[in-house]
Amino acid sequence: MADEATTALSGRVLQVTDLTVHFGVDNVWVPAALSLNYSIERGNVFAIVGRSDSGKSAS
């Protein structure tokens, strides 16, 4: 039974592949994030940190 519980709680819950985000600033596209790749496994903690207005929410 413990093996079934472990299997049910393990695994990837999110995977992002090759994410790029640009914002329009003064009629110019400005990159905020380029080719991001990450995955989050169940039970792990993941944080995106950066300066204000750097595109964290969009990525």
Query: Quick one: tokens of 12?
Result: 């990837």
Q: What would you report as the CA-atom Rg of the chain, rounded to the nearest whole angstrom?
A: 17
| pLDDT tens for each residue of 15-38 | 999 999 888 999 999 888 889 898
Give the distance between the most distant pair of CA atoms in the chain: 59
**What is the average pLDDT score of the chain?**
82
Answer whether residue 51 shows pLDDT above 90. Answer: no
pLDDT at 21: 87
Q: Using an 8 Å Cβ cutoff, are 40 and 13 in contact? A: yes
Does pTM top 0.85 for this prediction? no
Q: Higher confidence at residue 6 or residue 37? A: 37
Answer whether residue 6 shows pLDDT above 70. Answer: no
